[in-house]
Structure 1
Amino acid sequence: MENSALKSLLKKLKEEKKIHKSIDYYIPSLWIDSNSKPNPTKVEAYSFYENLIEDILGKSDDGINYAQSISKIQNQHHGIGGDWTYKSVIYNLFPRLTTAYDHDHDGFIGSSDIDLSLNENGVRETGTFLKCIAMLPYIKSLGCNTIYFLPITSIGKDGNKGDLGSPYAIRNPYELDQSLADPIVGKDVVLQFKAFVEAAHIMGFRVMLEFVLRTSALDGDWIKTNPEWFYWIKQGEVSTFKSPEFSEDDLEEIKLVPEGKGVYHAPNKTYRNIFSKPPSPEQIKKEGNKYVAETEDGKLVIPGAFADWPPDDIQPAWSDVTYLRMYDFPYSDSENDFNYMAYNTIRYYDPVLSHPKNVNRPLWDKLVGVIPHYQETFGIDGVMMDMGHALPKPLMTEVIDKARSIDPDFAFCEENFDIDPNSRMAGFNATLGFEWRVTGNAYVNGGIKDVIYKSGEKLPLPFFGTSETHNTPRTVKRGGVQHSKLCWMVSCFMPSSIPFIHSGFEILERKPVNTGLNFTEEETEKYGKKNLALFYRSSYDWDNTTNIVPYIQKVLEIREQFFKTEEMKNHLVGNELSFRVVDIQQEGEDVIAFERFDPWHQNQTYLIVSNTNYQIAQTIKIKLEGMGNKKVKELITDERYQFNSDEVHIIIKKGDSLIFKLEKY
């Protein structure tokens, strides 16, 4: 391990310890022992991190370079490249939030007048990469093998929401967010993230990052150097700027565009005339946090982005991000020159605009280079593409091809509400959005059952098995602890489901990170008045004495027993032939059951039974040929159930899930 960042970080820790001697420092007890009673635990900061890193390094092999992907380290290639996703169990980190903690126990996250993220002792209480390293043993104990970060790149300041700003308001995709550096070991955020990736790889984790390639912060670094990569409007139009409006007749045809049947209609001329030709770099100056250009047309600024679909969702512009200009079309005052932001320039690109000759090649080259930068600098294993399906398809192809020329087993995941065969053809390895959307109100509309039935189909790629993300309500808020447990059990045993923990799920965190999707108007208004963690200093309730950590661990242990070996895992993950829904005799339709098995050895099966009614217990009868007369043990509780003549009667508690390992014949 020559030039090891983790060793360099350890050396830096020891140097700082000699200078500062000691720092009293509270951390969650769960980070030390996931089976402990949650409470604030006092440690000496330097000694804690020193011992932690030495322990991780003790698991390493000096002959291995851990600053490269796991697939490169182990010389692996899965499927089309990146199909290791099928065997993943993912923990989703929003580092600024997930590892935030009140380290001085004064009741606040950050209290310094100099830097809001620091306490009075200069300790960063918002999350850092160093604290992410501290969480690795905890995440490992849950049973996860992949860590997926929300964006960790530098954040702009113009129009920032909250006191920290959104991680999606990206100032420069090539630079890390400096606030993720931990002052305990200095300001070198690059070293600290390199050390994290090395530590993760030593412990067997793959590391995925989320990237946003079609938007920029309103004060992005590229604005001054390349103003032609952005849209510009007259400064006087900013306060009233919003998405364009279309006539009912135009809307009817525009809405068919995604199906290839519609007609591309440009916004009206009044809207188009708001936009001006981009200024030269010399005309641009910074006024506070905002870039302003002095031109012959007057003062110009960059407008905020808005929801790009559907086209009749008229909204004010967002305050902190803008769309990048993917195509460079000749400017004209008299004709439709596509010099505006609308559905046909930022998502469903008009064929006239998206001709190869109009590609904004310098911008595309810059975007294509983002992921390789993180592969070569840090050795990451894969990425989640935020709204990747809204990038021009040729650009997305270039992005994937370039990354896989560096690492053929590099994974690409996407956000998509549907499990789309076109995504697989484009080179994606997994999708996020299907399960949580369908289960959004599962305890009311039976959405969980819909997901289970869908998982029995032959699907083109796996989906993230999760009932919540940073954009949705928390699972526990929708149906309580029962709902959280049931969703986890089901997510772990569906054939094309990748078990996915959005950090906080396991400790029954109730506060949403953002009010993006599946919130009622009342919920959006309620949480909008509070400091949402996507924008403000916040932390999880790591000291909550009620959690489902042991349940998560137990279910994943059973899942590993089902797969038995890597060979068996390769055979069963994503295999719809290893799954069947079981008929149940019951009053109503609240209980669903399914089996998982090796298609070539169907005498050994795992039976999962779930009651989606969270108010009433259910009495059911299941008949399984080959069970005969025998007692079987439920694997979570060890409770025994009796089969007689292939039939078993079960009283299943409200919202409960049962799992059995069965031997037939």
Structure 2
Amino acid sequence: MKQNSTPHQTTNLKLVLHALEQLPELKPGQPYYIPGLWNGGDSGFEPVQPGKYFADIITNMLSGNANEIRNPLQSSGNWTPDAVVYNLFIRLTTAYDHNNDGIVNTEPLENGFRETGTLLKATGLLPYIKKLGVNTLYLLPVTLTGSDDKKGSLGSPYAVKDPFAIDPMLDEPALGLSADILLKAFVEAAHLLNMRVLFEFVFRTASVDSNWIQDHPDWFYWISETGCATKYGPPHFSDEILHTIYEKVDKHDLNNLPAPEADYKKMFTSVPVAIHKKDEKLRGITKQGEECRIASAFSDWPPDDRQPPWTDVTYLKMHNHPEFNYIAYNTIRMYDVALDNPEYRNNLLWETIEAIIPHFQENYCIDGAMIDMGHALPSALKHSIVKRARRNNPNFAFWDENFDPTPSVRDEGFNAVFGSLPFVIHDPVFIRGLLNYLNKTGVALPFFGTGENHNTPRVCHGYPGMETGRNRSSFIFTLCCILPAIPFLHSGMELCEWHPVNLGLNFTAEDRERFPSDKLPLFSAFSYDWKTANGLKTLNSYISKILSIRANYRELVQCMDKGSMILPYITNPELLAVMRKNGDTTLLFIGNSNGSEAQNGIIEFGITDAILFDLIEEKEYPVSNHSLSLHFKPGQSMLFELPVEEKPS
């Protein structure tokens, strides 16, 4: 099977349109409200007839009228550097209180439409997303999730029950069409709008009630039901052993990595020979007659990480070495050399995993894949996944949830990595450290240009409804757009959304107390503040303008060479100056990292006098006696194109 890079089938989209056109008007007393932003407005909400509303959007797509705003990507080869990404978690991104009763219901309304996010609503949101300047859609997992021990009211999308099936909660019962058809229609609509679609794939974990368990119990880790159920959790390591672990891993010495204590390893049993249900949950019986259950997941790195456990998720057992029959950092991420040996590979599991992306290529015509926990997959398996998918589509993009854009990740066939920008973006000292390092070494792969994703605090976290959050977001986005990075909009960022999606990285104990699973959108029903955008003007028009400027300097900002990111001196440490150069073209970014206070600064130039033009606010600024004195509003950024002779001294 060979797949075109930008197929334009519309079979399923037309099926959806036909179903919408058959819907009767809603009865009085069954209102269906949508945010004004969805319909080209600024704020508030308005009533619509959902059948007609979505049918009109799809009709416009099919007629070609929606193609006025075009953001074409390369038709072949590595198109990732040209990507501008909008990241959707469908269940959350398009969730809304459609009947305006103050609750996002988890069950369909009487009219048959859902308030949690659906693929129909995501299709309807595409013109809004495209208008931002986006050309690539990145979907968090859309596959069928498990129900046992689920977190929150809906469970984790990373608790994958069947990686080949689509979550039925993403359908719209009013249409009588499956989520499978609606997903195909979504991709068709995106391609009509010249947008590419990537899915995030979960290969490292599964749900504790995975469909694979009964036929393949050897693909999972099992613990004794007797006595272990209450004691089980992450292994404990002493400070001395932790020091040894860090030292060996930092040196890439994976020989004889320190193992957990014997009492921890004894919790794990052999593979059961029989599977049964007990209290509606899967349990196993070992050859010795011991009852056991699937071991749930926890964050294994760093080895003393104390993130909340993932009760509905388990790690897949990639290797079957008898001495490593337990879950710990050295069995599921930093593979001990003795474990990571071809003779111990769980070959049938690997082959099954390798077949997942081809299934989605053939059935949904997707353009790329983001690999969840790619840093925790065996390198040989990643090579095989990439090789098999590229046989079907040589232009298929692979992005890795890896924090370091190293040549080794590039050599595995990946086009981009998540990177470490969100972890330094909030402190100009750390930003300078990262950029100086990348300027010295060069950049092997593009990284995500963002200050947030679903596992980190929102940029506006701690600033709900405050102008400070908006100012910080605009500064960070502008900076990201002049780096050798992929502009990345985590859905809701443009609304200055502050509520965390998940408590993954960089959260405090107070955050964990404040946001239990039933208040986290990754696990429970929740809607963005589409009505009022947290009391602020949205960033939509600003984002569009910055992306338009970036497009004019495409080759310069994409340059990953050593010496292409220089940080000139500026007198105020709250201000950040970054100079990008490529040939005779130089772009100078200066921004105020302080979102709440205005700042002044001076930057020196080699030329005595000149007039510089800020591309953002379209104002002129004089260089006088080698100096440019600037006053910045909170969070304000400026961009100047510099002639060769006007580079900062």
Would you call these one fold, judging by a TM-score over 0.5?
Answer: yes
Which position in structure 2 is the counterpart of 1:26?
Answer: 33
Q: Distance in 2 between matches of 1:146 and 1:76?
A: 15
1:387 aligns with 373
Structure 2 residue 97 is the aligned partner of structure 1 residue 102: yes
Shift of 1:189: 0.9
Structure 1 counterpart SS, 2:138? strand
Deviations 1:63-120 (A, max 9, x none): xxxxxxx99xx85112xxxxx211111101011000001112222111xxxxx23234
**CA-CA distance at 1:629 after TM superposition:** 3.5
Amino acid at match of 1:644: S
Paired residues of 2:478 and 2:546 also in contact (CA < 8 A): yes
**SS of the residue 2:271 aligns to:** coil
Provide, for residues 584-613 of structure 1, a one-character-per-residue CA deviation record: whole Å limited to 9, x for no partner: 3x2x422222333441x33xx433211223
Among 362, 365, 370, the residue aligned to 1:376:
362
Partner of 1:218: 208
Indicate if the aligned counterparts of 1:471 and 1:514 stay in contact, CA closer than 8 A: yes
Whole-Å separation in 1 of the counterparts to 2:184 and 2:642: 46
Cα distance, 1:662 vs structure 2: 4.3
Give the match for residue 330 of structure 2: 344
Matches within 5 A, 1:350-429: 350-429=336-415
**CA deviations over 1:350-389 (Å, ceiling 9, x no partner):** 3333321221111111111111111111011111111112
Q: When the two structures are superposed, what TM-score results if normalisation uses the length of structure 1?
A: 0.87
Query: Distance in 1 between the 2:631 and 2:265 partners?
Result: 65
Does residue 48 in structure 1 map to residue 53 in structure 2?
yes
Q: 1:113 maps to which residue?
A: none
Cα distance per residue 1:211-270 (max 9 Å; x no partner): 111111000000011111112122121121122334565544433442333532443433
Work out the CA distance in 2 between the residues paired with 1:243 and 1:647: 57
Matched, 1:8 2:1: no
Partner in structure 1 of residue 267 of structure 2: 274
Say if 1:427 and 1:627 are closer, same or farther in 2 by CA, change over 3 A.
farther
Q: Specify the SS of the correspondent of 1:225.
A: coil
Q: Which amino acid aligns with 1:526?
A: R
Code of the aligned partner of 1:27: I
Q: Which residue of 1 aligns with 2:85?
A: 90
Q: 1:397 deviation in Å?
A: 1.2
The residue correspondences of 1:296-375 to structure 2 (distance < 5 A) are 296-313=288-305, 318-329=310-321, 337-375=323-361
CA deviation string 1:542-599 (max 9, x = no partner): 1125221121111112212333xxxx57x94435555433333x2x422222333441
* Matched AA of 1:117: E
Cα distance in 1, alignment partners of residues 588 and 265 from structure 2: 60
- Cα pair 2:108 2:173 within 8 Å, conserved: no
User: Counterpart of 1:29 in structure 2: which amino acid?
Assistant: G
Amino acid at match of 2:543: I
Say if 1:486 and 1:454 are closer, same or farther in 2 by CA, change over 3 A: farther
- Aligned equivalents of 1:640 and 1:247: distance in 2? 60
Structure 2 match to 1:174: 164
User: 1:646 Cα shift?
Assistant: 4.8
SS in 2 for 1:238: coil
> Aligned partners of 1:446, 1:125: CA distance in 2, in Å?
43
* 2:474 is equivalent to residue 485 of structure 1: yes
Change (3 A) 1:530 1:306: closer
Superposed counterparts of 1:446-485, under 5 Å: 446-457=429-440, 458-477=442-461, 480-485=469-474
Report whether the alignment pairs 1:196 with 2:186.
Answer: yes
Off by >6 Å, runs of 4+ in structure 1? 18-23
| Structure 1 residue 528: Cα displacement | 2.5
Question: Equivalents in 2 of 1:574, 1:313: separation in Å?
Answer: 33
- Paired letter, 1:310: P
CA deviation profile, 1:426-458 (whole Å, cap 9, x unmatched): 22111114100112x42xx63333344345341
Q: Tell me which residue corresponds to 1:623.
A: 604
Quick one: which amino acid aligns to residue 47 of structure 1?
K
Residue 191 of structure 1 aligns to a residue in which SS? helix
Q: Which amino acid in structure 2 is aligned with residue 77 of structure 1?
A: G
1:518 to 1:313, Cα distance in 2 relative to 1, 3 A: closer
Deviates most, 501-510 or 180-189 = 180-189
2:341 alignment partner AA: H
- Compute the displacement of 1:24 (Å): 4.2
2:627 counterpart residue number: 647
Alignment partner, residue 4 of structure 2: none
Instruction: Tell me, yes or no, if the aligned pair for 1:572 and 1:578 is still in contact at 8 Å.
Output: no
Aligned to 2:138: 148
* Segment of structure 1 superposing worse, 18-27 or 316-325: 18-27
Cα distance between partner residues in 1 of 2:89 and 2:245 = 37
Over 3 Å counting, the alpha-carbon distance change for 1:556 and 1:316 in structure 2 is closer
1:657 is displaced (CA, Å) by: 1.1
Q: CA deviation at 1:190?
A: 0.8
Contact 1:176 1:189 in 2 (8 A): yes
Q: CA deviation at 1:472?
A: 1.3
Matches within 5 A, 1:277-296: 277-280=270-273, 283-295=274-286, 296=288
Give 5+ residue unaligned stretches, structure 1. Answer: 62-69, 79-83, 111-115, 331-336
Change (3 A) 1:434 1:417: same
Do the aligned residues in 1 keep the contact of 2:116 with 2:526 (CA within 8 Å)? Answer: yes
The 10-residue stretch of structure 1 (413-422 or 257-266) with the greater mean CA deviation from structure 2: 257-266
Q: 1:392 to 1:41 in 2, by over 3 A?
A: same
Partners of 2:10 and 2:599 in 1: CA distance: 61
Which shifted more, 609-618 or 649-658? 609-618
In structure 2, C-alpha distance between the alignment counterparts of 1:418 and 1:99, rounded to whole Å: 32
Secondary structure in 2 aligned to 1:163? coil
- Which deviates more from structure 2 when the two are superposed, residues 178-187 or residues 310-319? 310-319
- Give the drift of 1:312: 4.0
Structure 2 residue identity aligned to 1:417: F
Structure 1 residues 343 and 661, CA, compared in 2 at 3 Å: closer, same or farther?
A: closer
Work out the CA distance in 2 between the residues paired with 1:419 and 1:598: 21
Q: Percent identical across equivalent pairs? A: 39
For residue 655 of structure 1, give the secondary structure of its aligned residue in structure 2: coil
Closer/same/farther in 2, CA of residues 171 and 590 from structure 1, 3 Å limit = same
Q: Secondary structure at the match of 1:475?
A: coil
- C-alpha separation in 2, matches of 1:627 and 1:372: 60
Picking from 484, 502, 524, the partner of 1:514 is 502
Q: Within 1, Cα distance between the matches of 2:28 and 2:163?
A: 37
Q: Secondary structure at the match of 2:589?
A: strand
Deviation at 1:655, TM superposition (A): 2.8
Q: Alpha carbons of 1:572 and 1:391: their partners in 2 closer, same or farther (altered >3 Å)?
A: closer
How far 1:287 moved relative to its partner? 3.0
Where does the alignment leave 5 or more consecutive residues of structure 2 unmatched? 1-7, 67-71, 463-467
Q: What whole-Å deviation, never above 9, does each CA across 1:266-313 have from its counterpart, x for those lacking one?
A: 434333332222123xx2122344201245423221111222223344
CA distance in 1, matches of 2:296, 2:590: 49
Q: Shift in Å at residue 402 of structure 1?
A: 0.9
Question: Residue 363 of structure 1 aligns to which amino acid in structure 2?
Answer: L
Deviation per CA, 1:458-478: give whole Å up to 9, x if none: 110011010011111110235
Residue 636 (structure 1) aligns with: 616
- Give the Cα separation in 2 of the matches to 1:492 and 1:535: 31
| 1:233 match: secondary structure | strand
